[in-house]
Structures are given as structure tokens and as C-alpha cells.
Amino acid sequence: MRSVEHVNAVAGKGLEGDRYFAGTGSYSQKQDGLRQVTFIEIEAVQALQSEASISLEPGSTRRNLVTQGVPLNHLVGKTFKVGQVAFRGLLLCEPCQNLANMTEAGVLPALIHRGGLRAEILSSGAIHTGDPIRPT
């Protein structure tokens, strides 16, 4: 996992360079369309430290995009844009055993209902660090 200044989003496929875009992610065999892009709130990552004494870098959560000041749970079933790229929030991205195996077991209960958002990419384009997130 690495931080980048910009990434290309491809409608219906995912983020160029991502493990699921390449078909190499842990759950790539599932053809359910739920792994195009994932978001997580930086506030949830910070709460891990203060509430559960778990220190993780945002990339260690295995989510694609880190947001700030945006309540992601409210975007389930909604369309929104990041910069010029349109998304549809599909469902919460609850923590899984694979994440716990790569980090620590306490991450599972600590991220229940705040592990992020799975979304579908509706339009292709570039996403840049600092792009605003707004409803459509």
C-alpha cells in the first residue's frame, strides 16, 4: 500500500494500479462488483489509537481513499463525486479477518460500522489528493 498524489478511476472497473483492478486482491475471485473502490475516514483511523490503543497508518487499513470530514456511512445508496469522478456508495466496508491477520485482532471490533465504504465508479477520470467530496 502506498500513498499517491493522483490516481485514475475507471468506471465499472476500479482504480488503476490497485490490486483488485489487476485481479490480484485477496477476494478477486468474487465477481460481485463490490471491490472497485473503498473509502475510510481518517477520523476512524485516529479513533483506533485513542479508543483501542491500535496504531495504524491509513494505508494499513487496506482502503483505497482516505477522507476527512465526510461521514461515509451516510453515502450508502447515494451518488457523489470526488473531484470530477462520480461514485455510488454501495455498502459499508466492514473489517474482515484478512485485515486482522495483516494488522492485529483488535482491529475487527474497533472498526465495526466505521471500517469505510465500498463504492462503484460511475464515471472515469483522475482523482487528486485534496479533491472535494460532494453529493450529486
Domain extents in the chain: 6-135
pTM: 0.88
Q: Quick one: CATH architecture of 6-135?
A: Beta Barrel (2.40)
DSSP-assigned beta bridge partners for residue 79: 88
DSSP-assigned beta bridge partners for residue 121: 87
Whole-number Å distance between alpha carbons of 68 and 43: 7
pLDDT at residue 42, rounded to an integer: 95
Q: CA nearest 119: which of 95, 84, 89?
A: 89
pLDDT tens string, the chain, 136 residues long: the values are: 778 899 999 999 999 988 877 767 666 666 666 779 999 999 999 999 999 999 888 888 878 899 999 999 999 999 999 999 999 999 999 888 888 888 887 898 889 899 999 999 999 999 999 999 999 9
C-beta of residue 54 within 8 angstroms of C-beta of residue 106: yes
C-beta of residue 80 within 8 angstroms of C-beta of residue 117: no
Phi/psi of residue 50, nearest 5 degrees: -75, -30
How far, CA to CA in Å, does 126 sit from each of 11, 52, 75, 80, 84? 11, 35, 21, 15, 8
Q: Which residues contact 97 (CB under 8 A, 6 or more apart)?
A: 108
C-beta of residue 64 within 8 angstroms of C-beta of residue 13: no
